[in-house]
Structure 1
């Protein structure tokens, strides 16, 4: 069976591969259970027809009225749960925008992007966005791939039946995030949560525009945290720290919010793992704290200021190398070189150190450490737990701006 591929959502996303045919396991289990019943049936266990008839007659048959009353009593607790879901939806719907973008691509008559017979093809795509207010101004957050290759005049934002057009668009391709500034009043800002408080098993609600159907709602739970190293789309997403959810997410959900039971936005829905191109119960959302770290820089500086530690890492580091160093765990990032005058050099990090934790969070591998450092606030002092020549120790580093060390 093929490994699932990762699809970044858009209205016209192509199918990634053919849908696999899977025999539902519960049907096989049912057949097995029936088989074991018949195999264990013998004359010693059998009842005579008279006995069976008498037994069935003594069992009370509930009336239809009593059956409905039983359903009503059981439904009361469920209705309370779903009433809360409805309140969440009513509260947050005005804060979710439907986005349509026209993208112009060059192609020839054969559908290829090269050749002498070139023509411009306009593709319309749909996604979603979250309305926020930052420093007294109104913005809409979405995914970069939703509006990629679109000019300002090609982007249309709709919220609560009113159409808006952005006056400025800012992008960070490395995290697949964009923010659109809207001058016109009338948009309702969302309430942002703290994604650091999100835990596996938390109930979540997703709102978006799957297949262009605006303000569609689904729900589920947070299935996992800190997903990274996913192969996302043809261009990829460099910095990843996704939340995983089983809430139904489909092409067109991109840019829409993932919300907790308080109606607070805890993530921006971005991608799916799918064999079919549609929802297979594995969706990925960018944590809102990470989103706002990127968005605030885009608004304030016009670019994202990346954190810098000043180390090179061994991409091949794994269980075998860890064992050679005396470690009984394979996670972490092995330092192979240190940039002079960098935060790592100033803090006395050394070649051969294995970084096990960064800011009190376990580091899985080299790319994970790169992402954590890049998303750190400039000037932030961060504790690193390292393994050095048989000993564990904590070293504090002060993160600086990567642009200061560009060659």
Structure 2
């Protein structure tokens, strides 16, 4: 049986066909080492010549070595047929010795790169940690001795000018809380920045406990705590001035209490019941209301502004503001109307009292200048047992002292023991507290008129007020 040659048996079958039975071994291709680049065989070896006897100069490759000079004439005396035509990137001149390529220098390995990266990360982490700690310290909450300043709240810019929210946000940074420690225990009250020299105004009854070796801590609206020192205090007006060693606090402008009328809107700011930066609002419900904070041994006589803005214990010493954000009064939570029996209330009763700003200005300036305040007086002792119309001058003072101060305003004006004072500057007076409050609301040197009754007749008497120390 004759075998025929099958066509295509010894050939590769195209595209998906089965491979031929005959296979050819393809020599393995030598891959250059990763650690060392392949070296090019010298030209003399490739052409079968002998190794040159002259040393091959180690020339630095020109940056233009990669560009062959096509058509350039061979060097003088050289055989133009020597060697083959240069390939792109070979030596530019025919027949010239071919320098061996400069070995490729190895760069840093992966291990070195990883080491450098780790070192950089460690340094960055250290620097970041130090920077973060500094930023954390900078952003920490203010503590005692902090130099940070309270800043107005969002309402100062997001609410209309003259609104309660706008005024509250603007003024609150200038209102402080006073923590007082003394022999009688601890207590809190309020105060506000009076000027740019660190003077704060508050009530006398707020700081009286620290007058004899106690301690006052002033807490700003942002929580910064500062030590406070009493500059001066006056029980007669229930006012005091405390100083802190800061000159960058923003004072609140004083308004004119004499221009206030019943029905005006007002805002009270303070720390009622220890709740700092509390804002309440209301109206002026009465004017020239005689109130007497304190006890009989340390009693104040104030011609107060009455308001229905909520005032509680702790509000004492805080500002009462008009709708321009000016201080028209200093709140006195423990004030009470004479004979009312309302004293030391534990919560808002709908009636609060504030010392008018006209009195605050006079007294605060005196306390800052001299440490004490001067009160206007007429120089008489009053009969506290008298319950008839008006106020009667006593027959004599305590311990047998004369009822009228010798050389005082009342004696100079011709008043006598037993005279009954019915009116002060045309306004009726019902009890001794009202008369004292009306006198204290005036200034030393003012000329005033009293309507008195002596026997069965009435008459007007004019006198000039003197200072309490004169």
Q: 5+ unaligned residues in a row in structure 1: which ranges?
A: 1-79, 106-122, 320-329
The superposition leaves residues 11-56 of structure 1 with CA deviations (integer Å, 9 ceiling, x where unpaired) of xxxxxxxxxxxxxxxxxxxxxxxxxxxxxxxxxxxxxxxxxxxxxx
**TM superposition score normalised by structure 1:** 0.64
1:210 maps to what in 2?
272
1:251 maps to what in 2?
313
Q: Does 1:294 align with 2:346?
A: no
Say if 1:293 and 1:375, in contact at 8 Å, map to a contact too: no
**Please, which of 164, 176, 183 is the counterpart of residue 245 of structure 2?**
183
1:277 shift after superposition: 1.3
**Please, which of 125, 137, 144 is the counterpart of residue 197 of structure 2?**
137
Say if 1:334 and 1:366, in contact at 8 Å, map to a contact too: no
Give the root-mean-square deviation of aligned CA atoms: 3.1
Q: 5+ unaligned residues in a row in structure 2: which ranges?
A: 1-158, 335-341, 396-402
> Aligned in 2, Cα 1:347/1:88: closer, same or farther, shift over 3 Å?
same
Say if 1:317 and 1:334, in contact at 8 Å, map to a contact too: no
1:157 maps to what in 2?
218
1:189 shift after superposition: 0.7
2:6 maps to what in 1?
none
1:128 maps to what in 2?
190
2:260 maps to what in 1?
198
Counterparts of 2:279 and 2:285 in 1: how far apart (Å)?
A: 18
Say if 1:308 and 1:401, in contact at 8 Å, map to a contact too: yes
Q: Does 1:102 align with 2:181?
A: yes
Say if 1:274 and 1:280, in contact at 8 Å, map to a contact too: no
Q: How does 1:58-73 map to 2 (within 5 A)?
A: none
1:360 shift after superposition: 4.6
2:381 maps to what in 1?
312
Counterparts of 2:377 and 2:296 in 1: how far apart (Å)?
A: 27
1:378 shift after superposition: 2.3
Greater fraction strand: 1
1:235 shift after superposition: 5.9
Q: Does 1:224 align with 2:224?
A: no
**TM superposition score normalised by structure 2:** 0.56
Say if 2:190 and 2:316, in contact at 8 Å, map to a contact too: yes
2:44 maps to what in 1?
none
1:180 shift after superposition: 0.9
Counterparts of 1:374 and 1:280 in 2: how far apart (Å)?
A: 27
Counterparts of 1:353 and 1:81 in 2: how far apart (Å)?
A: 56
Counterparts of 2:307 and 2:319 in 1: how far apart (Å)?
A: 12
Say if 1:335 and 1:350, in contact at 8 Å, map to a contact too: no
Tell me the SS of whatever aligns to 2:436.
helix
1:333 shift after superposition: 4.7
1:310 shift after superposition: 2.2
The superposition leaves residues 227-261 of structure 1 with CA deviations (integer Å, 9 ceiling, x where unpaired) of 33657469653323232222112221111111122
> Aligned in 2, Cα 1:385/1:150: closer, same or farther, shift over 3 Å?
same
Aligned residue pairs, count: 296
The structure that has the greater radius of gyration is 2
1:402 maps to what in 2?
468
1:39 maps to what in 2?
none
Greater fraction helix: 1
**Please, which of 208, 212, 217 is the counterpart of residue 148 of structure 1?**
208
Say if 2:293 and 2:301, in contact at 8 Å, map to a contact too: no
Say if 1:333 and 1:363, in contact at 8 Å, map to a contact too: no
> Aligned in 2, Cα 1:211/1:233: closer, same or farther, shift over 3 Å?
farther
Counterparts of 1:229 and 1:304 in 2: how far apart (Å)?
A: 19
Tell me the SS of whatever aligns to 1:284.
strand
1:142 shift after superposition: 0.8
> Aligned in 2, Cα 1:233/1:365: closer, same or farther, shift over 3 Å?
closer
Q: Does 1:341 align with 2:390?
A: no
Q: How does 1:247-396 map to 2 (within 5 A)?
A: 247-272=309-334, 273=342, 277-319=346-388, 330-334=389-393, 336=395, 337-388=403-454, 392-396=458-462
